[in-house]
């Protein structure tokens, strides 16, 4: 009986250091947040032409001719060919409808064709001028403008530094309230997420010229930091 008791005590003593090693050290875990505002340096314009005609061929020929003028106007405005591309090409029949709701009269009465182009602007100060060029060349559908920051990660570095400082500030408040001393950071993790894109839409440019306001984009960073607690002296 004594021998069994001695073996149990010895096993417990041997297991104690291993158990102590598996216990996480005392720590304070917080999140830090920071934002930076950056002016967008790139824009994307979505524009197109739409035409109705009695036959599919007539509708197709009409938008081909109209889009040809639009593309020539873009080239004349100094937009490189690599910065614009066709984004949608549609040809659909149009049916006559009767006076009764949800009831269609058989037969195709016309065809509607549309051709859309996406234009990338590397100089946001020229967005309004390009919209005027598009409209002047015959584009009758301006779908929207999308502004973005091309070097977002570079600007986020500033926010990362501020987020760490914010995390330390919070951790020091908790440490003071708990009567302990803050140590070194144990772990740092950035919470992932897509960079927001500021979007602005122009439904119909004004006759006197499109009014476009790029505004600013807010880039955000959130980090989770665990700080060690220094042992009492």
Percentage of the chain beyond pLDDT 70 is 78
- 53-94 pLDDT tens trace: 999 999 999 999 999 999 999 999 999 999 999 888 999 998
Q: Which domains does the chain have, with CATH numbers?
A: 25-39+151-230 (3.30.110.170), 44-148 (3.30.70.2970)
Q: Quick one: pLDDT at residue 185?
A: 93
**Of the ranges 35-49, 125-139, 195-209, which one carries the lowest mean pLDDT score?**
195-209
Q: Quick one: pLDDT at residue 224?
A: 96
Buried b (16+ CB within 10 A) or exposed e, 33-49: ebebebebbbbbbbbbb
Cα 134 to Cα 71, 86, 117, 121, 145: the distances in Å are 9, 14, 10, 13, 13
- 106-160 pLDDT tens trace: 688 899 999 999 999 998 888 989 999 999 999 998 888 888 888 888 889 999 9
Instruction: Compute the distance between CA of residue 69 and CA of residue 57 in angstroms, rounded to an integer.
Output: 19
């Amino acid at each position: 009986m004594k021998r069994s008791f001695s073996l149990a005590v010895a096993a417990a003593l041997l297991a104690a250091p291993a158990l102590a090693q598996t216990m996480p050290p005392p720590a304070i875990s917080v999140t830090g947040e920071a934002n930076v505002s950056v002016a967008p340096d790139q824009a994307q314009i979505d524009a197109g032409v739409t035409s109705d005609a009695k036959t599919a061929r007539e509708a197709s020929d009409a938008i081909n001719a109209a889009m040809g003028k639009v593309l020539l106007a873009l080239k004349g405005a100094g937009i490189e060919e690599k910065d614009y591309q066709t984004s949608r090409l549609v040809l659909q029949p149009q049916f006559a409808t009767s006076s009764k709701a949800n009831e269609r009269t058989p037969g195709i009465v016309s065809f509607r064709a549309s051709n859309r182009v996406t234009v990338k602007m590397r100089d946001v100060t020229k967005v309004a001028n390009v919209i005027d060029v598009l409209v002047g060349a015959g584009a009758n559908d301006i779908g929207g403008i999308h502004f973005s920051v091309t070097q977002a990660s570079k600007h986020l570095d500033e926010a990362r530094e501020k987020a760490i400082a914010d995390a330390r500030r919070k951790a020091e408040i908790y440490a003071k309230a708990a009567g302990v001393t803050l140590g070194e950071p144990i772990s740092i993790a950035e919470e992932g997420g897509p960079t927001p894109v500021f979007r602005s839409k122009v439904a119909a440019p004004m006759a006197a010229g499109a009014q476009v306001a790029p505004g600013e984009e807010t880039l955000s960073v959130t980090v989770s930091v665990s700080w060690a607690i220094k042992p009492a002296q």
